[in-house]
Amino acid sequence: MIELPFTRVEDAGLVPSGGPARLALSRLPRASEIADAVAAARGVSAWVDGRLVVTAVPSRLIDAAGRVGGRELADLVAGTVEPAVAAWLGGYPDLPVSEGGPFPTSQRPLVMGIVNVTPDSFSDGGAHYDARDHPGTAVRHGQALLAAGADILDIGGESTRPGAAPVDVEEELARVIPVIEALVADGATISIDTTKGRVAREAVAAGAAVVNDVSAGAYDPELLPAVAELGVPYILMHLRGTPLTMQHQAEYTDVVGEVFDFLADRLDQLDRIGIPREQVVVDPGIGFAKTAGHNLLLLRRLREFTSLGRPLMIGTSRKAFLGHVTGGDPEDRLIGSVTSAALAVSAGARIVRAHDVAETVQALALAHAVATAGDE
């Protein structure tokens, strides 16, 4: 099987007027020869961390590939470059769900409210989980987030903070299923935050509409087959290692390129096992196996991830890298959280995962209004 190349668009602002784009291509067959052909056509190319970075009119890059490898190679390059550029330029897709119509990510950014049904999550562990009043405390919190404007509630029964230990599947189910059932009865759209196939199955049976998996399917071999069978939207996140080990694996030569290529490769793999990319959301995994500097750079260059052509989710809420910049404990990071959320939406994020829903709803409304000002 031929591995398809990946195109990450760094800048395509001049393309609508016939100008060049700056593109980073990975896994490109005959890349050195294509680079020479681009140079002969007065384009610019360079090798950056093993990727061919080309500044050229996209059609000239495709023509250069054709001169090197004929129609077959030209079609291969066109098949990766053209959709990536189109995605970068705009036109966010909706996300299909099985009931109630699609999530309107093409129209506006959505807020995903966090319901941690755990005693040990980094920010609010135990605040919304009381074993003596279960599921009441968590349900009331979810209802409050809905009233504050949350579009989706993300319910998780296992902490994924750095250093967190895994939770037994029975305990995770006991935490999340009663909360899902109660909030679905209130009309909520639910995402189940889990890495386990059995939890995903039982959560969807209880009414959850989305599976949010920080592991990209790496922790439980039953998770991805379950998602394929269930046919629900799937949130694909970048992570290295486990919550216990991930911060020891935060080493990258090019964090943006490496995270992008991981997500692009995983999208291809998911498609082959029956999870079509049309039902996938991508998440670069802010705070997961990343240093503060990595997280800030990913936010700065977030627009490049729109090249994947899928709705982009970001979760920066109350995370440690915000404290690295502004100081303060998790509960003191509200301004940093909503500022980073607004920046993410300005760069193309379509779902923002947040603890402080009311404030995030306001911030995203303004960011979206600014981003679309003057559009017809």
Provide the edge-to-edge strand list for the sheet that holds 21-26. 6-11, 21-26, 51-56, 44-48
- Provide the β-strand partners of residue 24: 8, 53
Query: What is the rounded distance in angstroms from the CA atom of residue 224 to the CA atom of residue 172?
Result: 18
Burial bucket for residue 361 (CB in 10 Å: 0-12, 13-18, 19+) = buried
Q: For the chain, where are the alpha helices, taking DSSP H only?
A: 31-40, 58-89, 136-147, 169-185, 197-205, 223-230, 255-272, 292-300, 320-326, 334-346, 357-372
Residue with tokens 């504050």: 148
Q: What sign does the CA torsion over 240, 241, 247, 251 have?
A: negative
Residue 27: active-site member: no
Instruction: Tell me which of 310, 319, 333, 350 is the catalytic residue.
Output: 319
CA pair distance 308, 7, nearest whole angstrom: 8
Which residue(s) pair with 353 in the sheet? Answer: 112
Q: Around 363, how many Cα atoms within 13 Å sit in the side-chain half-sphere?
A: 25
Residues 253, 238, 271, CA angle at the centre, nearest 5°? 115
**Residue 353 is a catalytic residue:** yes
One of 51, 196, 301, 353 is an active-site residue; which one? 353
Instruction: Tell me which DSSP letter residue 133 carries.
Output: G
Neighbour tally for 335: CB within 10 Å:
14
The single-letter DSSP state of residue 67 is H
For 305, the token pair is 């991830």
Residues annotated as part of the active site: 319, 353
